[in-house]
Structure formats: structure tokens, C-alpha cells
Structure 1
């Protein structure tokens, strides 16, 4: 299936969307902390013996002082850092069960996952969340151009550094594109992929509509307007719940240089054909999800991915937008658990 010719797309930092909502709806302006997290003695839920064995580190990691959140997010435990692929990656681990690695979207940080979603997944999986290069607790090498394939390489290197044995990878938005690139270029690194709100890049992807891209990137866009882009207009309960989740984990720093570098990575992905070319060779089971009302990543991309991959299942959420995984977390987590059981990854 071929998409219409692409026009230049202004990719929108997911972090920007979250920050605008937080700053202008009910929680006040976002204050970026030096390292994120509240000082507390709480530790993360200890994984089972099996999960611990599966995730024994192969490189030395260090704990970031005063990085464990308090309150509802206490189960996340402290941030740890580990050398990976020439940089140092900040990550958290919690829960028990088979390994699940979660990849955040464009300039998003670990603190942009909702505590509710993480808590639900932690009941079924030993979960690893982390910051992509240059974001939050993760360092960067600015001498190297940032690209989606490079961040896919980082993800694979993190899997190896943490000793994860063929985890399921779950990626949202640009994180889904990183996951698709891992599945295409490094299929031996993961056992399954869940991608939501991503595309295949190159000439086959369907653009964000120009009017939506303009509103997403406008400095005058308000929190309510941003919520309109993330959620359908009638998803009142989901919007309220999402707002209540923001700020439960202290926000992390995302500098202007990183904003620019990830923007450039997104632009480069528009001309990168490697994910499209190699995806048919991958035998990884894939769950491809999208909100049918997604204004940011048109749902036609999910159909293109499913047609291109050999072992992909498509699920569209009929009344959901780009934030479908937090709009309907019950259904989303149920789908993920059913998928991993059916694909034999548990």
C-alpha cells in the first residue's frame, strides 16, 4: 500500500504536548528538576527470582540519589544509570514476570508515562522504562547525528547491558517507530513488539495533517487545545484522569539542543527506507495499535505496518486518539497481556 507523496512534516515532541497540558490546565507550570524524583527511602517492587535472573546486569549500574518518587509512584523505585552504546542511560525497573521494555516518544521522558498505566503493566511484567539519548537522565554524544536507527541501536544495547532475554518491546509514538526499527533491523533482540501511534517512515508513511502539525508546534497552543489533539472531544473522563496523573512523577529536563536533535531525527526518518525495506524479513510477532480518531498519527499508518509485516495483528481503538493507551488502559493492558501469552513470549 502506497501513501500519497509526503510533504515536509513538523514532528511534535511528545514532551511538549505533556508540558503544555500540565502548564495550562490544572497543575500549574512544569518545573524541571535537576534529576527528577522526590527524596524517599521507598524502593521498587522486587521482581520474582526468575525475573531477577533474567535481568542481571552485564555492566555496572549506579543509583541516582534522591530519585525514587514518593506517593502513588513509589513502586517505580530509584533511577539507575548504566553505560550503553557510548552514552549513559537512565532507567527504572519494577514489577515481576516476563520482561517488558517501554520506549517513550519524541523527547518524552520516563516521567511522561502515567503511573496508572505503569502500575497496571507491573502486575504482569518486569518492566524497564528509560530515557532516550539526550533526554532526562540519559546523556548524549552530540558529535553523532541523532536518528531513529541510532536510538534503535541504543535500545538494543540497553537490552544487552541489562541482560534482558528477548523482552517484549512496547513503544508509543516515536517510541513505536524505534520499536519497528528494532524489529526490522535487530529482530533477534526482542521476542515481540507492541507499537502504538507510530509509522514506518520513508515514502510510505502518512503525514500528520498540516493544520494539526501547526497547532501542535505553536507556542500559543493552550492545554485544552493540546488535550483536543491527544483525546477525542467526548473523552471527558479520560482527559480528567490523564490530568490527574501528570506530575505524580517529578518532570525531567529536556534541553533545547535535545529538542532540536530529536526534531532532526524525526525529519531524517521521513527519508529513511530501512525500516520499510527490512520489516517483511522480521518474524517477530507484532501488535499494531492506533486510535481510529488519532489526529497526530493517522490510523492508516497502522494498516500499512500490518500489511507490510508478516506476523502483525492490527487493533484500532474506535473512539480513541493518540493517547489511546492511557485513554483506555484496561483494554490496552488486556490486549498486551493476551498478545504476549498468545505469541509465547511469557
Structure 2
């Protein structure tokens, strides 16, 4: 399918957050700049020592969420790859870095999923360039390989040693590109709702792409694309969850730049070309009812990689990681602790 049919798929996450945050109890507006910053050492939200960062980080004042999301701790910011990346770090155990999708912010992960993962890992979530608390360099085109470079630079800046990487939607594509082009940076990859780009990707159906890109598309219509029709409880839970972490801003300029990054990925062949040489264990997952990223992509990725396992969630859509957070967390934990047992 031509690049003209490539859609900024996880833009759904950003637009949906805006559309439904007004009905989510406890939603608190939060600017991308946060408040004043003060220097801090690298520690988890519980105060336990973290890895020795190679670069000094700073805390964003008044950025600790209240209520059920308080365990996330404050937003920190650290220079990496020519920009300043905003991130949160919490939990305990081996390191897990989570990569959000197209124009989605780290506030678009749900508290339920993050809480479950934090029982097994020291989790790092962050904003991709231009999103929320992370700056951008608009003098260079934004691309998925560049965001993969950002991810690797963040890992190095934080002093993480071969963390596992988990990516959702475009975040899965960033993760696949890290595994293909920077395999020494991570120990394992979990990718859900992504594809390999280039001519081998099965792109979003045109009718779905049109609805995703239509500014008149409502929050309920977005939910229809993220969740199966019968997943009413999961939809309601997701709306509630979006109100638990202060939402972050995404500018129109970033929407456009990341849309173009998705377009460029349609002609980027290096992830496809280099993936077979990667020795990184990979868990490839997808919702079998995914309307946004055709599930066939998961099979394509698994056959292309030499060390990949495929697990499909038969009753889930594009929002599978939050729709079935308990099973997904169990799967991720088993895989990263003992690859080959997922």
C-alpha cells in the first residue's frame, strides 16, 4: 500500500485523551513545560538507589500525581540525543523501558497497567520528542529511526544496562527499529500493534485511516477503533484511567511532524533488512480484532525475526495492553524472565 494510505495510527491515543478527559473524573490539566526544575540524583519513586546516570537529570516541580497514580513519582528531565527527554521512573526489579505510540504521551499509559508492571520491574516511561515534557529539534525531520536513537540515548543517559523494551503501536515500531539497528542496547523486546514499515507493512484500511484523521471524529468513535464492540467494561475503565494521570500537551506542530514520521516509515526498509540479524528475543503481540494495525503485521514480524514468539489476543483490539492488562503483564513478565516460555 502506498505511503498516502499510511496513517498516524496512535494519534488516536492523543486525540482520544483530549476527547474523553473532560468526562474522566479527576482529570487535571498539566502543561508540557511543568514547573521549575531542581537537580536530583537518580532514584526510584520510592527513594531506592537507581542506576548511575551518565548525565545529570532534573525534577519537574509539582509533577507528582495524586491519588492512585502517586506511585509514579515526579517527572524528571535529562539531556539525550540533542533534546531534553521527560520521563518517570518507578517500581523495583529489572529495568523495563516503555515506548508510547504516535503523539501519545506517557500520561496515556494507564495506571492499572503501570501498577501491574511496577510489581515486577523498575519501569521507565517517557515522552517521545516534541510530546509533553520532551523538547524537539525542528531543524531535522522527525522519523522513527530518530526516535529509536532517542530511546537508546535515554537508556545510556540513565545508565540502564540492557533493559527490556516494550513498545505500543508506533512505539512498537520504534522498538523493532531499536532491536534491528541497536541490538546491543536492550535485552528483550515486546512489541504490540506495530509493523516493520516499508513495502512489507500491511497498512491501516483506508476507511479506518480516514476516520482516524477526521477532526470531527468523536471520543466514542475513537473508542470504537481501539476496543471491540462488546468490550464495554474495558472502555469504561480506560476512560476512568485517563483521568488518573495529569494529561500532557501535544502541539499541532508535533502532530504534523509525527504524521510525517509515519509517512516516511512507509519507505524505510532498514528495520526489515536488519531485523533477521538481531539476536534479541522478541515477543510480538497483537489484538486479533485490531482495526488500526492489521493483525497480519504480527505474523510478518515474527517470520522475519529469528528469535521471535507470536501471541495473539483473540478478543482484543488495538488497545490490547490496557484492555487485557492482567494477561498482558503476566505474558511480558514470563517472557522477559525466561524467553521462550510465553
Flag whether TM exceeds 0.5 (same fold): yes
Q: How does 1:185-334 map to 2 (within 5 A)?
A: 185-334=181-330
Partner Cα separation in structure 2 for residue 131 and residue 176 of structure 1: 14
Q: 1:9 aligns with which of 6, 11, 29?
A: 6
| Distance change in 2, residues 1:47/1:101 (3 Å) | farther
2:95 equivalent in structure 1: 99
**Structure 1 pair 218/318, CA: closer, same or farther in 2 (3 Å)?**
same
2:104 matched to 1:108? yes
Report the Cα offset of residue 236 of structure 1. Answer: 1.1
Separation in 2 of the partners of 1:45 and 1:261? 32
Match of 1:34 among 31, 34, 52: 31
How many residue pairs align between the two structures?
A: 332
Residue 77 (structure 2) aligns with? 81
- Partner Cα distance (1:36, 1:224) in 2: 29
Q: Are positions 1:60 and 2:59 aligned together?
A: no
> Contact 1:17/1:216 (CA < 8 Å) preserved in 2?
no
2:39 matched residue in structure 1: none
Quote how far apart the aligned CAs of 1:277 are: 0.3
Which residue of the partner structure matches residue 18 of structure 2?
19
Matches of 1:169 and 1:132 in 2, distance apart?
14
**Partner Cα separation in structure 2 for residue 47 and residue 331 of structure 1:** 29
Provide the secondary structure at the position in 2 that maps to 1:225: helix
1:34-183 correspondence runs (5 A): 34-35=31-32, 45-46=45-46, 52=50, 55-183=51-179
- Equivalent position SS for 2:5: coil
- Cα 1:28–1:255, aligned 2, differ >3 Å: closer, same or farther? farther
Structure 1 residues 131, 225: CA separation in 2 closer, same or farther (over 3 Å shift)?
A: same
- Report the CA distance between 1:44 and its aligned residue: 5.8
| In structure 2, distance between residues paired with 1:211 and 1:341 | 40
- Root-mean-square deviation (CA, aligned residues, Å) is 2.1
The answer for the alignment partner of 2:40 in structure 1 is: none
- Change in Cα spacing, 1:31 to 1:90, as seen in structure 2 (3 Å) is same
Whether the aligned pair in 2 keeps the contact of 1:47 and 1:94 (CA below 8 Å) is no
Q: Secondary structure at the match of 1:100?
A: strand
CA-CA distance at 1:30 after TM superposition: 7.6
Query: Unpaired segments of 5 or more residues in structure 1?
Result: none
From the superposition, tell whether residues 47 and 279 of structure 1 become closer, same or farther in structure 2 (CA, over 3 Å): farther
Partner-residue secondary structure (3-state), 1:149: helix
TM-score (norm 1): 0.91
Whole-Å separation in 1 of the counterparts to 2:29 and 2:152: 28
- Cα separation, 2, equivalents of 1:73 and 1:213: 33
Q: State the alpha-carbon separation in 1 of the partners of residues 266 and 55 from structure 2.
A: 34
Distance 1:165 1:87 in 2: 21
Query: How far off is 1:31 after superposition?
Result: 7.2
- Per the TM alignment, residue 104 of structure 1 is displaced from its structure 2 partner at its CA by 0.3
Instruction: Give 3-state SS (helix, strand or coil) of 1:320's partner.
Output: coil
Shift of 1:285: 0.2
Q: Give 1:67 shift.
A: 0.7
Shift of 1:32: 4.7
List structure 1 segments (4+ residues) > 6 angstroms apart after TM superposition.
Answer: 28-31, 36-39
Q: Is the 8 A contact 2:98 2:165 kept in 1?
A: yes
Distance 1:29 1:106 in 2: 25
Partner-residue secondary structure (3-state), 2:230:
coil
